Chain A
Amino acid sequence: MEDLGSIRVFGLTYSYGRKVALDDVSVVLRPGRFTALLGANGAGKTTLVSLLCGLLAPLSGTIEILGFDAARDMRAALRKMGIVFQQQTLDLDLTVRQNMLYFAALHGLSGQQAKGRIAACLKRMGLDGREKEKARRLNGGHRRRLEIARALLNQPTFLILDEPTVGLDVEARGALVEHLHELCRSDGIALLWATHLVDEIWPEDDLIVLDKGRMEAAGPVSAVLAEQGCPDVLSAFRKIAGMSGPDEAGETKA
């Protein structure tokens, strides 16, 4: 029987002109699982995210999101998806509540329905009581929390976060990673977390390693480590990416 809670990508290829960004990538994301998409800058993470949310169309390959074929019914898939982009996408001149209301409107959520959900999502992300503050006045961590609260507004079953901890301090980063692991477990959401920071990946997570547009490893973290014969994610990543020393790992560090 078809698994309607999963996201299945098969043979995905994309290029920008002659530059191949993704080359024959196939992955499966499962409900209730925190899947880390690990890769250095330029590995193809954002391209994969853009393809998954319909901002780009694949040159070849198929994407099936929660039972919907993305090529034919992306809109139905988007109704079930929450997305947090790498770049900040808040309207800084609007208040916290106005940002949420705008997003609710984009999903066709009206009046009372939106109000209830906004209150619940803000509370969940620890932003209750700050509804009337301009987004500009929030610090980096709270802006990210607001974007996540916004992404939860349509009660998604598939949540994508593209390097959401960029620009956050260590404490805010840790809190966010913990919170999202908890959210994934409690709500049974299929969660894709694109990152280049290995300390954001927990031993019980699923892991996809991208390198220069190619998928080099995929599976539960423990299985990937066993396959690579490495004690931790950092050394496994270095081995996969062919890095010999710490300098070559660039920003991909614990």
Chain B
Amino acid sequence: MTTGATPYLVCLRGIVWREALRFIYQRERFIAALVRPLIWLFIFAVGFRSILGVSIVPPYETYITYETYIVPGLAAMIQLFNGMQSSLTLVYDREMGSMRVLLTSPMPRWFLLFSKLMAGTFVSLIQVYLFLVIAELTIVDLPLGGMLLLFPVLLVTGLMLGALGMLLSSTIRQLENFAGIMNFVIFPMFFLSSALYPLWKMRESSDLLYWICALNPFTQVVESVRFTLYLEANPLALAVVCASFVVFLALAVLGYDPKKGLIRRRAAD
């Protein structure tokens, strides 16, 4: 093994490269990840355009169409689903055994898990940018500068949602239990956020729901994406995303620690 930082870079590159190859080979996964937000954009948003008016809310400087409003939320949704897909992959890898190969590498475990997150985030970035380009070319106007500036923000939001998925995967014993994640994590996180409707609108209906939405870290992901896309800063949202990432990653590393982890392997030998 070479010394210094090089082995770490080699390892990181290898893990990202493997994920990219799997992504290329699994075209269905790629198409499904893209079709989901496009259905929301072209069917749901267009259908609701006349019903849901969105008044001037930051970072928008004028009245906007509903489809313009939900584009950042759908970009974040891609990353949310990708994070959960990564979690599913981790559970699958653990059941199939290939996770053992990763965890018996001589690299530090936190670094291996971080590299897995980077790999998943890399895949989500491709999906988000493809979605944004399609949206821009067809139905909404997106500032080019905002799309470029979005890259580092998407990197952080992707890592945060991936870390959440990784944390969840450390608690799931069997692949069959993954459906619970869909019902109890993805949908509540998505619907109880500012992805589909501004929070002030939620407050008009229920103060309690408003606070749940406001405290949902996914809301901060959406707002980070929304503000950056329109070349505005939302330091609070970004700070919450960064802090959530650190907490989720730390808990995930703990979850995969054989001494302290939540995973107690079944007696199957």
Which residues of A come within 8 Å of B, CB atoms?
Answer: 16-17, 19, 21, 41-47, 50, 53-57, 75-76, 78-79, 81, 83, 85-91, 93-94, 98, 101-110, 113, 154
Which residues of B come within 8 Å of A, CB atoms?
Answer: 1-2, 6-8, 10-11, 13-15, 17-18, 21-22, 25-26, 96-98, 100-108, 112, 258-259, 264-269
Given contacts A57-B258, A94-B21, A110-B6, contact A102 B106 (CB under 8 A): no
Are A54 and B21 in contact (CB-based, < 8 A)?
no
Give the contacting residue for A79; candidates B1, B103, B267; CB below 8 A. Answer: B1
Given contacts A17-B264, A87-B96, contact A106 B105 (CB under 8 A): yes
Given contacts A87-B97, A110-B10, contact A19 B267 (CB under 8 A): yes
Are A89 and B96 in contact (CB-based, < 8 A)?
yes
A–B complex contacts, Cβ < 8 Å, 28 sampled: A17-B264, A21-B267, A41-B269, A42-B267, A47-B269, A50-B265, A55-B104, A55-B258, A78-B106, A79-B1, A81-B104, A85-B97, A86-B97, A86-B269, A87-B96, A91-B98, A93-B22, A94-B21, A101-B14, A102-B18, A105-B15, A106-B112, A107-B105, A108-B1, A108-B8, A108-B107, A109-B10, A110-B7
Give the distance to chain B from A164, nearest Cβ to Cβ, in Å.
Answer: 13
* CB-defined contacts of A57 to chain B, threshold 8 Å: 258-259
Q: How far is the CA of A45 from the CA of B269 in the complex (A)?
A: 7
Q: Which residue of B lies closest to A82 (CB)?
A: B104
Give the distance to chain A from B173, nearest Cβ to Cβ, in Å.
Answer: 12
Are B269 and A106 in contact (CB-based, < 8 A)?
no
* CB-defined contacts of B21 to chain A, threshold 8 Å: 93-94, 98
Nearest first, the 8 A-B pairs at minimum CB distance are A105-B14, A108-B7, A46-B269, A87-B97, A106-B105, A57-B259, A16-B267, A78-B106
Are B14 and A102 in contact (CB-based, < 8 A)?
yes
Q: Which residue of B lies closest to A87 (CB)?
A: B97
Q: How far is the CA of A21 from the CA of B265 in the complex (A)?
A: 11
Give the contacting residue for A109; candidates B1, B112, B266; CB below 8 A. Answer: B1
* CB-defined contacts of B100 to chain A, threshold 8 Å: 53, 55, 83, 85, 87, 89
Are B14 and A106 in contact (CB-based, < 8 A)?
yes
Are A16 and B2 in contact (CB-based, < 8 A)?
no
* CB-defined contacts of B14 to chain A, threshold 8 Å: 101-102, 104-106
